[in-house]
Structure formats: structure tokens, C-alpha cells
Amino acid sequence: MEQKQKTIVKILARLCGTAVFIAFYGWFCLRLWTVANRNGMMTTIINDPHFEVYVFSVGGGLLGLFALGICLIWRARRDVTLISLAAFILFMLPLGWVKSKEWLAVGRFDTISMVDDLTVFRPFAKKNILVKLDKPLEKRMEGKQPRIDGVMNLFRFYASIVENVCRQDGWMAESEPAGAAFGRLFNNEADVVFSGLPPQSVAAKAASQGKTLDTTMVVKDAFVFYVHAGNPVDNLSLEQIKQIYGGKATDWKEVGSKKKGAIEAFQRPQDTENQSVFSRITDNCPLMEPPTMERHAAGGVVIHPTADYRNSPNAIGYSYRSQAADLLLKGKIKLLSIDGVAPTPENILNGTYPYVTEYYMVTLKDGRPEEVERNIKALRDFIFSPQGKELAEKCGLVPERNE
């Protein structure tokens, strides 16, 4: 009788365990589905050419995992349990193989890519990638805050200023072409614009409205060429760069390296500012076909756009210094000297390095409420303060010295 009671208790315990397991497993599958649907991930999976692999591996793997859980709860025979475990592993192998190949091709390398989604630069958002000061300001800006706008190349810089200096209820503009930002400045929709030196037409428009522009140079950026930090090459001539990107120099030993290695020369898409600047620097020299990457558009269409820079040991790429800031500060890439001139902060400031862009803080001298004018001055003072310069440097920019 006692043995019978023990058996009943065991069965009831396993039934309860099965119910709990099924409930947990249902929650787990639902959570998995929710995550897959987040941020369009499910659409990406459906359009992936390996969609059948996802269905086979994930579907079969979940069934194998469920069977394994039931076997463990009911203490099934060892061979049955091992079969369930083997089924789970075998179902997951195809997906593991596909993902391993993707990782070997791309994922193991740090990349430098142009940011298309500006929400990652949204101030005060939970998961933004803005720069944080080492020591937060003791006091944030008070009163009516200036409305800030500017060009996309500086978006991370002035968005970081907003997050570190302004209150969370401060106003923040979208990044726009400089012409649109200046238009809002004249229409009293913005108080500060961060951009290159305003063209004469903008100054003329201000004069025609009886207004005067106040321009202050705040930071400089440089167009740079970079390689993996372990690459022994430190300097290239402009002619060597033309040879590399023209496909005439294909091995690092041909351009001064002591080690052999096939050069991986990454380019930028044709319609980008980076590629326009590169073409101007190299006098529109003929270029070889750039490396491409595989992407999947709507409807499962596979496209092959120009690949982002991947920091492999034999790679070379180019962009503005600020766009490579994260890998540069981590010491994972190094900037090349061009014709013997290195893009150091000193050479960028004194104009020795030739490919430099100056950026200005532009406001109107009159017509703002006194409180806004006071905060515009406070903003300018912050930019030239040690903490403002720290923020600029973390953004890959070279702060102007105002001593």
C-alpha cells in the first residue's frame, strides 16, 4: 500500500512538473516569437535566402527540446533521452553552420559603416550611442534652451551636447542639409546651427533681412585613410592610394610593407559624400569594382551593395575621422600618413594635413530673447571648456583651441 502511494505521488509530481514545463515552454516560444517580430526581424528572416534553414532548425530544434524536457521529467529510458538530445543537436546544426559561415566572413571583424538610422543618436533615448562625459556636469542648462540644428556629419556631436548639457525637455531638431537648417535659423525655428562655413548666399540672405550671422569655428574634422592597427604600413603616397584603388597595387608588399598580403580596399557607395570627397582627392582616378556584401530587400530579392569597411588585417578604408572615432579610440585602427603628413590633431589644426573640414557654430547676432542669448553663450562656453573638448575628441573631432 505504501509503495502504491509513493507511485501515485511520483506520478502526480511528474504531472505537475509537466504542466509547469509546458506553461514555461509556451511562454518561451511566445517570447521567441515576440523577439523575432521586433524591429522587423521576422521580415528579415522571411526574406533571407536561408529561410528554409531557419524553419527546419528552429522548428525541429524546438520539438527536440520539448521531447528532451518531457523525457527528463518522466525519467524515460536513457536511449530515448539520448535520441531526443541528438535530435535537438542535429536539427540545430544547419543553422549553426550558416551562422558560422556568416561570422567567418563578416561578424568577427569590427566594421565602420555609415549610420542610416538617426534614432541611435536620439538624446535621452535608452539605447543611443551618444558620447558621455567622464564626469557629468553638476548643473544643466536652465531656462529657455536654444534650439539646435545642423548637418548630418555633426549630428552625433551636437546630439551629445544636448544630452550632456541640456535638460531632457529641451528641443532637438532633426539633422538636415545645411541649407534647410539655415532656413529654419532665418524663420526663427532654430537658434543654433552647426555646419561648415556658411556660403556667401546665406550671409547675403541674412543681410537682406537686416540680420547678421555670428559664426564661431568650434571643431575640425579630417578625411582620413585607415588600416588595421597591426598593419606595418604607416604612410602611403597619394599615387600609391590611386594604384591601390585602381587595382594596380594588389599586395601590401607593393606599397612598402615587409609582409605579403592581398589588399582589401573598401570603398563607399557612389552617392555618398565620402565617395565624392575621395574622388576629388584622387582626381577622379579610375576605380576597380569595390567589395560588396549580401543584403536582402523586400520580397526576398538579394542585392549586393558596396560593403562596409571590415577591419581585417589586410584592409584599407577611408571616411571622415569622426566616423571612425569608435575604433580609433579603442586602438583597433590606425590613421595613415599621406605623403608623409599624419592626420594628428596638431597637423589638422595647423593646416599641414591637407584634407580638413572646418565646422562652425552659427547663430544670429540679434533678435533672440535674452534668456536664449544667455544660453547660447553658455553653450559656446561649454564647447570651448575642457569638458566640451573632451566630448568633441570622443566624437573623433579636433576641437578648436581658443587660448
Give the CATH fold of the 110-403 domain. Answer: D-Maltodextrin-Binding Protein; domain 2 (3.40.190)
Which H or E element spans position 225?
Answer: strand 213-228
CB atoms within 10 A of CB 379: 23
For the stretch 19-30, what's the b/e string if a residue is b when 16 or more beta carbons lie within 10 angstroms of its beta carbon? eebeeeeeeeee
- Class of residue 361 by CB neighbours under 10 A (exposed 0-12, middle 13-18, buried 19+): buried
For residue 361, which phi and psi values (nearest 5 degrees)?
-100, 115
Looking at the DSSP bridge assignments, the partners of residue 359 are 219
Q: Read out DSSP for 88-114?
A: HHHHHHHHHHHHHHHIIIIITS-EE--
* 341 close to 347: Cβ distance less than 8 angstroms: yes
Alpha carbons 173 and 95: distance in angstroms, whole number: 43
Cβ pair 194, 166 in contact under 8 A = no
pLDDT at 304 over 90: no
Residues 6+ apart with CB under 8 A from 322: 153, 154, 156, 157, 221, 395, 396, 397
Q: What is the distance of C-alpha 359 from the center of its chain?
A: 21
Q: For residues 181-192, b (16+ Cβ closer than 10 Å) or e, as one string?
A: bbbbbbeeebbb
pLDDT tens-digit profile of 209-267? Answer: 888 899 999 999 999 999 999 999 999 999 999 999 999 999 999 998 888 999 999 99
Structural contact between residues 319 and 112, judged by C-beta atoms closer than 8 angstroms: yes
CA 215 – CA 117 distance, rounded (Å): 29
Interatomic CA distance for residues 321 and 326, integer angstroms: 10
pLDDT tens-digit map of 15-54 = 898 999 999 989 998 888 887 776 556 766 766 667 788 8
pTM for the full model? 0.77
CB 263 within 8 A of CB 272: no
SS3 state of residue 213:
strand
Phi, psi angle pair for 101, to nearest 5°: -65, -40
| Domain ranges for the chain | 2-107, 110-403
Per-residue pLDDT of 347-382, as tens digits, reads 999 999 999 999 999 999 877 788 889 999 999 999
Residue 298 has pLDDT above 70, yes or no: no
Q: Which residue has the higher pLDDT, 86 or 40?
A: 86
Give the model's pLDDT for residue 70: 87
CA dist., res. 162 & res. 154, Å (int): 13
**pLDDT digits 0-9 by tens, 102-137:** 666 655 678 887 766 677 788 888 778 899 999 988
- How do 356-364 and 192-195 pair as beta strands? antiparallel
Q: Measured between alpha carbons, how far is residue 40 from residues 22, 55, 98, 357 in Å?
A: 28, 17, 21, 37
Type of residue found at 378: A
User: How far is residue 288's CA from residue 103's CA, in Å, rounded to a whole number?
Assistant: 26
* CB-CB contact of 72 with 65 (8 Å): no
Instruction: Please state the separation of Cα 246 from the chain's center in Å.
Output: 28
At residue 154's C-alpha, the angle toward residues 151 and 160, to 5°, is 125
Q: Which three cell numbers stand for residue 347?
A: 597637423
Amino acid, res. 216: T
Q: How many CB atoms lie within 10 A of CB 229?
A: 14
Percent of the chain predicted with pLDDT > 70: 88
